[in-house]
Every structure is written in C-alpha cells, then in structure tokens.
Structure 1
Amino acid sequence: MPKRTFSENLGRGAGSMLLERRSTGTIEVYLLLRRGGKQQRRKLGVYDEVNEHGQRCGLAYWRREAASVSAELRQFDTLHAYDEHRRRIALEKERAVAEEARQGTFQQLLSDYVDNMERLGRSSFKEVRGTLKLNVLTPFPALCARRAKDITPPDISEIVRHCLQRPVATKGRGARPTKANATIGKKRQADKLRAYLQAAFSFGLENDLDPLRVGNTLYGLTVNPARDVPVIKGANRANTWVLTKDELRAVVLAVEELPVRHCAIAKSMLYLAGQRVEMLCRAVWADFLDDGEHGPVMRLVDRKGGHDTPDRDHLLPMTPRLSQIMAPLLALEAQGKAPGPFSIRGSVNIAPSTALNIFTELGDRLASEGKSRRFTWRNIRATIETHLAAMGVTQERRAWLLSHGRSGVQAKHYDRYSYLYEKRHDLDRWARYLDGLAVESKTDNVVQLRG
C-alpha cells in the first residue's frame, strides 16, 4: 500500500512540505513550520489539481508554492498575523474590483454629461446629445465601450478629424451649400464637438470629487484628454457677415407675406431685437406681467451659462408696437389651450427649431429671387446687433437688451437693475427703424409707378 504521507525539507528555517493522502484518495498539500516551539501547518491546496491558469499542479509546482508561502510567513510572528495580512489584501482587491466596476465608460460619461445639462435646464442639451450621437456614439462603438479614464488625446483628435472628414449632412430641402460654406460649416461643427468633449471630461473630473454627485458612477479620471486638442482654425469665420440695409428691408417685407401666426412670430423675433429663440419659446402666460413702474413686461428666462450659473430673469418692456405685432399671439390666452403666446397651432409652444426654420426658408427664398444672400437666423441676429450699433446703441446697452453674459463681480452678483427704461427706449428706436424700411420700400414703389 502506498505511503499515507510524504514530507520534504525546504531548507534551514523554511519548514517542510507535507503531502497527505486522504481515504478518498485525494492528496492534500501542507506547509509545516515551527513557531514558538510548536509545529504548525498551513494547507496550500490539493496535489494534481488544475489551477486558475488551466495547469495541473504537480510536485514541482507545490515545491515552488511552499517555498514562496514559507518566505512570506516568516515575516510574521504568528500564523494569525499572516492570516490578517492576507485578509486585508483580499479586501483591498475586492474594493479595487468594485471600484473598477463603478468606473464609467466613455459612453456613460457622455450620457451622464448631457443628462446633467438637461437636469440643470440647459437649453442646448438636445443639440449636444444629437451631436455626440452623430459624431461619437454611432461611428466609434468600440471606443465608447472603453473606460472613460482610458480615452487619450489621440482618441479625441481622431473623433474630431472624423467629424471634419465625413460628408455634410443634409435634409434634401432647398439649395445645397457651396463647397466653401460646407467646409466652414464642418469646421464649426467639429470645433463645437471638441468643446463638448472637453466639457464632458471636465464634468467627469468634477463628478468624482463632488460629494453631491448623483449616482455611484465614478470615472477615475485624472486628466482631461480633450484639453490639449487645438481649436479648429477658421471655424467661426462663416458668421461674421451681416445683411445690408436693402437685404434687411427684403426680409421685413417678406415676413409680412407669411401666414398670420408665422408672421406674428417672425415679426416678434425681429422687433424684439433678436432675442435668443430658446428663451422666447419657453415663455408662458405667467411671464407676462405688469411691472407697476414700467407697465407691461415680458419675462424671459436666461439659462445660458456654466453649470454653476443660476437662471436669470431677462425682462423686456411690452411697448405699444410690440403689443400690436404680437396681438394674434396674445389672443391665444383667451382660448386657454396654448401654454404661451409663441404657438402656431394654438395648442403647444413652438419648438425653437421650427422658429429658426422660418428664417432659414426665408433665406432660401430671397436668395433664389436675388433679393439677398442666403441667410439663417444666426445671420439675422448678427445683423440686428450690427444695425443697432450703427444707430448709436452702445455695446453695454446692447448687452442689456439682448441678455449677453455679464462679467465682473459687480455685474454678475450685485447689479440687479432691470434697465427697463433703457430697453424700452432702444426697442422703440429699433421698431421705428424696421417700420421705416418698409415705408421706404413703399415710397420707392410709388416713385417708380409715377415715373
């Protein structure tokens, strides 16, 4: 009958390895050590078992394992101290695994970033979500599945390069953009994408340290990989041009030909001096109130700013001319269906994209008729501010009127004056300017008929 036990000395002070056969035939492997005058043993495993690497553990394997454990055990006074040491190591590994499991992927980071924008009421969250889906999530699924902390600056550069090189997305309506405009448009979109990615990683860096963060996801970020990707040169050149006085006159006249509510919305956008469309589309009936000192006013909510910038009320006086222009829209309140005045169907507020499209279609039409260059609402806003400047409205007053960002501690935190008097004066001047364009056109037509 084979021997029941087998032992082998590991060297002076290292103890010995013991193999012991059980009645079942299983051979167990032990390490024997003498501590405090007493011999103690520690089970190492089972002879000929298959380890985690798929290898059978024979005699050579257990000799190495026994020598390794013996060397480690000799650093501790007792086996109990050694066991505590191993337990701490195991807990640390478990925590590391759990921490790794909590660390979000690149896709999770982008999704959480946009969700946070929506939670904070940022008006651009839909645009950002669509841009990231088109340029990151769809074309780079493998990259999006990686941990956010593993994304590198070259990865960000490749994403932005893809945005620059992909074909221009069109919806098939109207004339196609010229090659030059398409190129500049792609540059602008690529630079916006770069900025969105940089903001997303900044959000991730702050999230890991924020005790008020929502959820348990951590990203493990230490750097912002989008920070060092350079700004796209030439990305903002396309929007520097503005309409001439004759082109603006053509716009004013063309707006009059629109259906009643389309006309009222488009004229409101013009006569309100180019307020941000997202702010107008959020207006509800409760935002129309009487200031007491300054009469009827319309309150718009300005949500533009950083993640820690609170919403700001932007008050605009409802001048007699504005009330006249908006009459078809203000009449909707009596019907009790539309939540606010800027509604086409009389049941829901108009979407910003629908309002913007009014001027996009006008730009296509007037360009095809040779009355102006092709424009969008962005060009109209630049045109309005430029013409206001030409009329002598100072930069500071234009900032009050159009709710541009305020800088400096005094302006941001202590100046709570609404500037309604100044806004009323400038809106009245602007209304007279636009009305004058239409009058000049009618006068020119009369002169031509008489001629």
Structure 2
Amino acid sequence: MNQQAAPTSTVKRTAAEVLTNSDLQRMKVGQKLSDGHVRPGAGTLKAVKRKAGGSSVVEFRFIWRRAGVEKTMTLGRWSSTGGEGMLSLKEARTKAAQLQDVVTSGQDPAAQRELKREAVRAEQAAALVAVKHGQEKTLQALLDSYVESLKQRGKDGSAYDTANVFLNHCTRPFGDIVGLPASEVTARHIALMLARLVGPGAQTKRGRTALKLRSFLHSAFKLAMGAGTNPMAPDGAADFKIALNPVAQVSPTEMAATFNKAGDRALNAQELRQYVLHVSALPSPLTRAALTLQLASGGQRLQQLLRIESTDVQPDVLRMLDPKGRRKQPRVHLLPIIDEMAEVLASLIELNGAGSLFASRDSVMQAETLSVAVNEISAAITEANPGIPPFRGGDIRRTIETIMAEQLGISQDTRAQLLSHGISGVQAMHYDKGKHLDAKRAALRAWNNYLADLCIGGERGNVVELGAQAA
C-alpha cells in the first residue's frame, strides 16, 4: 500500500533585518519596520513613521504581549544623533532591552512606567510643599513668632524692644537673610548681622546692641526648636524644621568681654553742664526731646521713656512699665510730672499726637539712636577738652543718681523708687504698696533746681536740701 508523503509547508519565517539610520531615513509615512537587533520573545522594537503637524517623524515603539493581549509603549522620536527629548537608534535598543527584562520578570512595563510617573508626581508635589514651607517658615516668620510669644506672656515691653531690635538690625539691613527658610540660616548669617554692629567695618561700635541681638536670636531659635512639644507655644512657632541652633555656634565671649563691662564713669558738674548744653543744641527735635526728658525725669532708662504713649501722660503722673528682670508682668512705674517734664511731654504730643510720643517715620525711635547721639556729644566734648575721658548713655543715669546721693542728700530708698531699681525683700514686694509720689516729686524738684542753677553758671545755687524730707 502506497504511503502518501507529508505535505511540505509553504510558509517561510524570516527574521527582521537589523535596522540602520539609513533605513529609518528612507521610511515613508505609515511604514513600520521591526529591528532585528533586538531578539524577539519578550517584546520587539519597531520604528513607525507618521505625520506630526505639517511634517513627519519616526518614532520608536516597544510591543509585547501580556495575557494574550498585544500592548504598545511609545519610547520616543528618532534622531540620528540623539539629543534633548530624542532617541538615537542605539538608545532605543537599550530601552527596548530593559523593557524585555521587565517582561521576562513577569512585570508589566506599562504599570512600571505609571508607577515611575506617580513617583515623579509625588516628588514634584513634595518639592512644591517644601517651597511653600520655605516661603512661610522664613527667619522673619521665626522672629515674628518669638515676639508674639513675649506678648502672650504679658511681656509687652520686652516684645516692643525685641521687635525694634529685629526690625533695625535684621529685617531692614538683611532682607535677603530674613527671607531665607529658618532651617537654612547658618552661624555665618548670624555672624554677618553681628559684624555690622561690632565688626571692623562698623563706624560706631554697638556692642551692647550686638549682645542683645544675639540673645534675642538665640531665644527665638530655641523657641522654634521646642515649639513642637510645647503646648504653650504661640501659633506658627512650630514646624520650622530646625535641627541645630545656629546662634549657639557664634560665641558671645569676646563681645561680652569687650562691651559688657560694668560702668563706673560719672560726670562732674562742669562735664554735665557741657553735656546739657550740647543736648539743647541737637538738630533732631525727637532726639533732643528724648535726652532732655531723661534729664528732667531724673535719669529714667531710655528704653522705658521711648515706650511712652500719649495715654500714659496723665494730668500729674507719667505712667511707665518696667519689664526689667524675670518678672512675668512688667511693673507699673509712676512718676510725678513736674513743670520741666510737662513742657517736653507737651511738645512731644504736639509733634506726634496720639499714640507713641517717639514715633519716627514708620517705627519708633530706638534706644541705640540715642546712645549714638550721646557718644557723638562725648566725642565733641573730649575733642575740645582732651583731658576729659569719654562717656556713654548709661553714664548719664549714673551721674544723676550720684549727684542725688552725694550732693542732694536723697535717700537710697527714694532713689530706688524714683529710678525703678530692683525692689526686693518681702516688705517691699508685698506690703509696701505706696506710690511714693511725694518723695519722688521732691527729689525731681531738687534735681531740676540743681540742673537749672548749674546751667545758669553756678554749681549749686539755691538748691533745696531734702534730708529727711527726701527720704
């Protein structure tokens, strides 16, 4: 029995040719070519020419099958040299090989691409959040939070002084630094701020101001670092993401040794007379009024005088707040208004009206401004009289108290009440609630009489001896 021969297949399977740049260059619109360089089995690399706008482009596609369904992923457009946003033939083959590995591992390249895109979107969103955080959590925001914390603790006077120091020695001269995220502020930035006050380029050294600024900055960063676990911290003080306090790396030792020295200078009568004459000739009405009021009020602290508002000026009493020390609430300091003080206060109210008596442009006059004025007066006096040692603002207060004690016979208790010194002891703190206004008034009267006689030409003239009355 004849056996029939098996039929021969007429289908020929041919491998795709390895593509060249010339092949891609000659392609026609609609044509598709497989690249034989990428071995099939886990996906193939194809080049497709299509219209795009008013011209045509060749783009690479990776094609694979998953669960019996053919899937396509566009890799990019062809360029013989590659370049930004384009793929060379070699780069397309590398991408195709990587995708084949994904398919071989049982993964879906489309899902993997979506995961990568999602990761990029998440990264971009996090970057936007970081930018927004940086814009909101700047050094300026940190400084504002610290000032607000002082206000919440009832330290309005300290908040006022701190805000002015920040404004004049951080915000205005270093707008670029206070605009940085607080977490990016370094010890170098802090050093630059302080160098403006005490460095070689500072025309007038402001050592005490520099020490105050450093102290305020250190406390502000310390507040922000602990705000996350402090239920009493003000709103906005947390989340500055500060790991280290940059101010702690700027040592105050040398500044303190140079500038934070206890003063012992007291002007004699003739030096005081020259000082008073220079004050009366100052060109700035506000500076002249402030230093004149300090003299007339018996040497009150300049910081306290500069806080006075029109509502603090009562018919016969000037109300001030003394936040000095560790007290949570500033102590009310009442001062009788005598004629010499009333004249200056009236001129200030006329100059500035309601609100702060020492308003200057868009802020309030700084104690540093007055310190500079005193230093300039001292320089003028010592230049004309080389034998006279220099003096500074704090020496005026010491001079007045020294004269009150040694020449006017005003007791230590009255001087303490008049100049708002630290009043301690159980009796003074809890039982002695008297305002001492009569004794203060008599002391101020004696002092201003002394000052008037001194400026007229004599050292004493007819000065009222207080003795026991001043006590």
Query: Does the TM-score normalized on the shorter chain lie above 0.5?
Result: yes
- 1:62/1:220 CA distance change after superposition, 3 Å: farther
Compute the displacement of 1:226 (Å).
Answer: 3.2
The aligned residue for residue 263 of structure 2 is 241
1:6 aligns with 2:34: yes
Match of 1:283 in 2: 308
Instruction: Determine if the alignment matches structure 1 residue 421 to structure 2 residue 434.
Output: yes
Q: Indicate how the Cα distance of structure 1 residues 50 and 76 shifts in structure 2: closer, same or farther if over 3 A, else same.
A: farther
> Deviation per CA, 1:356-413, whole angstroms, max 9, x where unpaired?
566445534554447853223233345567889998858xx9599648799xxxxxxx
Q: Cα gap change, 1:125/1:169 in structure 2, threshold over 3 Å: closer, same or farther?
A: farther
Q: Which amino acid aligns with 1:33?
A: W
CA 1:111–1:47 in structure 2 vs 1: closer, same or farther (change >3 Å)? same
The question of 1:18 aligning with 2:45 is answered yes
Find the residue that maps to 1:421 and give its secondary structure: coil
Alpha-carbon separation, structure 1, partners of 2:130 and 2:120: 15
- Which residue, out of 64, 76, 79, partners 1:33? 64
SS in 2 for 1:88: helix
The residue that corresponds to 2:94 in the other structure is 64
CA distance in 1, matches of 2:183, 2:359: 47
Aligned to 1:229: 250
Q: Is the 8 A contact 1:9 1:16 kept in 2?
A: no
Structure-1 separation of matches of 2:234 and 2:116: 32
C-alpha distance in structure 2 between counterparts of 1:332 and 1:71, whole Å: 88
Structure whose CA Rg is larger = 2
Q: Distance between the aligned counterparts of 1:38 and 1:389, measured in 2?
A: 104
Could you say which residue in structure 1 is the equivalent of 2:79?
A: 48
Deviation string for 1:123-154 (max 9, x for gaps)? 354544443479756xxx7x899866455445
Per the TM alignment, residue 6 of structure 1 is displaced from its structure 2 partner at its CA by: 0.4
> Does structure 2 retain, via aligned residues, the 8 Å contact 1:114–1:128?
yes
Q: What amino acid does structure 1 have at the position aligned with 2:311?
A: A
Tell me by how many angstroms 1:89 deviates.
0.6
Deviations 1:41-72 (A, max 9, x none): 32222232887x63852222122223334545
Cα distance change, pair 425–352 in 1 and its aligned pair in 2 (3 A) = farther
What SS does structure 1 have at the residue aligned with 2:256?
A: coil
In structure 2, give the amino acid aligned to 1:324.
Answer: D
Q: SS where residue 338 of structure 2 aligns? A: helix
Q: Is residue 2:345 matched to residue 1:324?
A: no
Unpaired runs of 5+ in structure 2? 1-25, 152-158, 463-471
CA distance in 1, matches of 2:95, 2:234: 45
Within 5 A, what are the aligned runs for 1:117-196? Answer: 122-132=160-170, 149-153=183-187, 165-169=199-203, 185=205, 194-195=214-215
Mapped partners of 1:201, 1:169: distance in 2: 29
CA distance in 2, matches of 1:70, 1:196: 62
Q: 2 CA distance for matches of 1:223 and 1:48? A: 51
Question: Partners of 2:119 and 2:71 in 1: how far apart?
Answer: 22
Write the distance in 2 (CA, Å) between the matches of 1:17 and 1:123.
74
Distance 2:189 2:365 in 1: 35
Identity %: 17
Q: Distance in 2 between matches of 1:329 and 1:130?
A: 26
Is 1:315 aligned to residue 341 of structure 2? no
Indicate the residue corresponding to 1:181 in structure 2.
none
CA spacing shift, 1:279–1:270, aligned 2, 3 Å: same
Greater displacement, 113-122 / 228-237: 113-122
- Larger displacement relative to structure 2 (273-282 or 381-390): 381-390
Instruction: Name the amino acid aligned to 1:229.
Output: V
Among candidates 104, 128, 132, match of residue 102 of structure 1: 132
Amino acid of the structure 2 residue aligned with 1:323 = I
On the 8 A contact 2:78/2:88 being kept in 1, the answer is yes
Q: Is the alpha carbon distance of 1:30 and 1:147 closer, same or farther for their aligned partners in structure 2, counting shifts above 3 Å?
A: farther
Alignment of 1:373 with 2:407, yes or no, is no
Q: In structure 2, how many angstroms separate the alpha carbons of the residues matched to 1:20 and 1:32?
A: 11
How far apart, CA to CA, are the structure 1 residues paired with 2:359 and 2:185?
A: 45
Contact residue 16 and residue 32 of structure 1 kept, 8 A: yes
Deviates more, 1:384-393 or 1:231-240: 384-393
* Alpha-carbon distance in 2 for matches of 1:418, 1:203: 36
Distance in structure 2 (CA, Å) of the matches to 1:212 and 1:259: 47
Q: 1:63 to 1:224 in 2, by over 3 A?
A: farther
Is residue 378–residue 392 contact of structure 2 (8 Å, CA) maintained in 1?
yes
Shift of 1:21: 1.7
Q: Is the 8 A contact 2:63 2:73 kept in 1?
A: yes
Task: State the SS of the aligned residue for 2:343.
Answer: helix
Closer, same or farther: CA 222–33 of 1 in aligned 2, 3 Å: farther
Query: Kindly tell me: are residues 351 and 387 of structure 1, through their superposed partners in 2, closer, same or farther at Cα, counting changes over 3 Å?
Result: same
Residue 90 of structure 1 corresponds to which residue in structure 2?
120
1:331 CA drift (Å): 4.7
**For the residues of structure 2 that align with 1:404 and 1:73, how far apart are their CA atoms?**
82
The aligned counterpart of 2:319 is 299
- Cα pair 1:301 1:313 within 8 Å, conserved: yes
Equivalent residue, structure 2, for 1:173: none
Q: TM-score, normalised by structure 2?
A: 0.60
CA separation of 1:84/1:105 partners in 2, compared to 1, >3 Å: closer, same or farther? closer
User: For the residues of structure 1 that align with 2:352 and 2:244, how far apart are their CA atoms?
Assistant: 50
- TM, length-normalised to structure 1: 0.62
Q: How many residues align?
A: 400
Structure 1 residues 21 and 92, CA, compared in 2 at 3 Å: closer, same or farther? same
Contact 2:182 2:242 in 1 (8 A): yes
Deviations 1:319-344 (A, max 9, x none): 3xx42331313555997974379579
RMSD (Å), alpha carbons: 5.8
Aligned-partner SS, 1:166: coil
Query: What SS class does the counterpart of residue 63 from structure 2 fall into?
Result: strand
User: SS where residue 115 of structure 2 aligns?
Assistant: helix
The 3-state SS of whatever aligns with 2:268 is helix
